[in-house]
DNA sequence: TATTTTTTGTTGCATTTGCAACAAAAAGAA
DNA sequence: TTCTTTTTGTTGCAAATGCAACAAAAAATA
């Protein structure tokens, strides 16, 4: 069995570590860039959907969003249709941070696939997307308190 | 540009979250399984090499190893050749935990690549290995305090 | 040899993380 | 409608995480 998990874990921790160092320049603390980009790309998204995009605990997302709001990167807007949820939008400050984050991410993607042909890049993306879809099923299952059998 | 980073981040967080929940059964707290498997597979490894395998901060590794030792999963042995480093070995308890961790990891690898042909599995592994090698260069560069240009 | 640099490891501090337990609104069922 | 379940969000812990600053041994250089 090919141990792809380990490779993925290593890549993810390394990349995340790099990003966190680089985004200190924007006064974004650990992990916050993850939330901010998604809110910029999905203006009006609610917290629950956001956490599903990122794959993080509900409480973690709640606090990351709180902090992003406190620091003026995003704002929560009431939904007249729904008293429970709040829609999340980037502020001007948040929007201003977006291009830098995006540029960094694009650079990292390029660097990560350095030496890849176009076909290999396509292949990598498509395989990873399939892996992600497989994994998110189990994630939701386990997060809901169910037990995997193996 | 294909956004493989995001896919990798999602997969990694989801999988890590699943593992942390499942390994509570072994009395392993968050992240500890990462260290324990590597020590089992590389008996005598020193902390610095361990952290490079995992891609985690030096201080994080120090404390994870301390805790693993305190809980009796591993032991540190002096190296007569070297007064600075200590070699890490699994205890009987650590060795006993290994098969369960391994089994869980194999299951997750299988699940992640569900629907993949043998060729696709090989391809995924090989592409990920190449990505990991690319990424670890930048990680070491940035961790040493250098600045990436983009 | 002596001196400088690199490697390896530790701790203080501030922060993030996530499980649990809870609350309240929304959605679904009776 | 009323009752039940699901969805969404929050907070109190306890723990992990990582940067910074430090220390000491080892390795490299003069």
Report pLDDT digits (tens) over B21-47.
Answer: 999 999 999 999 999 999 999 999 999
The pLDDT of residue B59: 97
The pLDDT of residue A2: 83
pLDDT, one tens digit per residue, over B68-81 is: 999 999 999 998 88
A89 phi, psi to nearest 5 deg? -135, 145
- Tell me: pLDDT of A1 over 80: no
Q: What is the mean pLDDT of residues A35-47?
A: 97
Instruction: Give the pLDDT band (50/70/90) at residue A102.
Output: very high
Q: How far apart are CA B99 and CA B147, in angstroms?
A: 41
Judged by DSSP in three states, A57 sits in coil
The pLDDT of residue B150: 85
Judged by DSSP in three states, A50 sits in helix
DSSP state of A28: -
Judged by DSSP in three states, B101 sits in helix
Q: How far apart are CA A134 and CA A128, in angstroms?
A: 10
Residue A85, nucleotide of least CA–C1' distance: D8
The pLDDT of residue A38: 97
**Which residues 6-45 on A are within 7 A of strand C at the CB atom?**
29-32
Tokens of A92: 């001007």
The pLDDT of residue B61: 97
Which residues, at least 6 apart from A58, have a Cβ–Cβ distance to it below 8 Å? Answer: A47, A48, A51
Q: What is the mean pLDDT of residues B115-130?
A: 97
Q: What is the mean pLDDT of residues B112-138?
A: 96
The pLDDT of residue A145: 87
B117, with CB counted inside 10 A (0-12, 13-18, 19+), is exposed
Tokens of B99: 């098969």
> Is residue B60 within 8 angstroms of chain A, CB to CB?
no
Kindly report the pTM of this predicted structure: 0.95
Q: Which residues from chain A sit within 8 angstroms of residue B134, using beta carbons? A: 111-115
Q: What is the mean pLDDT of residues A83-93?
A: 96
Tokens of A80: 């007249």
Between positions 115 and 134 of A, the ones with CB within 8 A of B are 115-116, 120-125, 127-132, 134
Q: Measured between CB atoms, which of B2, B4, B109 is closest to A5?
A: B109
Q: What is the mean pLDDT of chain B?
A: 95
Between positions 63 and 102 of B, the ones with CB within 8 A of A are none
The pLDDT of residue B122: 96
Judge whether residue B71 contacts strand D, using its CB and a 7 Å cut-off. no
């Amino acid at each position: 069995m090919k141990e792809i998990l380990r490779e993925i874990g290593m890549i993810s921790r390394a990349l995340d570590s790099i990003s966190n160092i680089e985004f200190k320049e924007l006064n974004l603390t650990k992990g916050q860039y993850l939330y901010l980009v998604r809110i910029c790309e999905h203006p009006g998204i609610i917290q629950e959907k956001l956490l599903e995009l990122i794959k993080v605990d509900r409480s973690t997302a709640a606090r990351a969003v709180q902090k992003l709001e406190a620091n003026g990167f995003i704002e929560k807007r009431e939904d007249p249709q729904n008293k429970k949820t709040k829609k999340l939008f980037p502020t001007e400050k948040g929007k201003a941070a977006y291009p830098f984050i995006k540029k960094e991410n694009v650079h990292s993607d390029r660097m990560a696939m350095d030496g890849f042909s176009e076909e290999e890049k396509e292949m990598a993306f498509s395989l990873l997307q399939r892996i992600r879809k497989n994994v998110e099923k189990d994630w939701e299952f386990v997060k809901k308190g169910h037990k995997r059998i193996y």
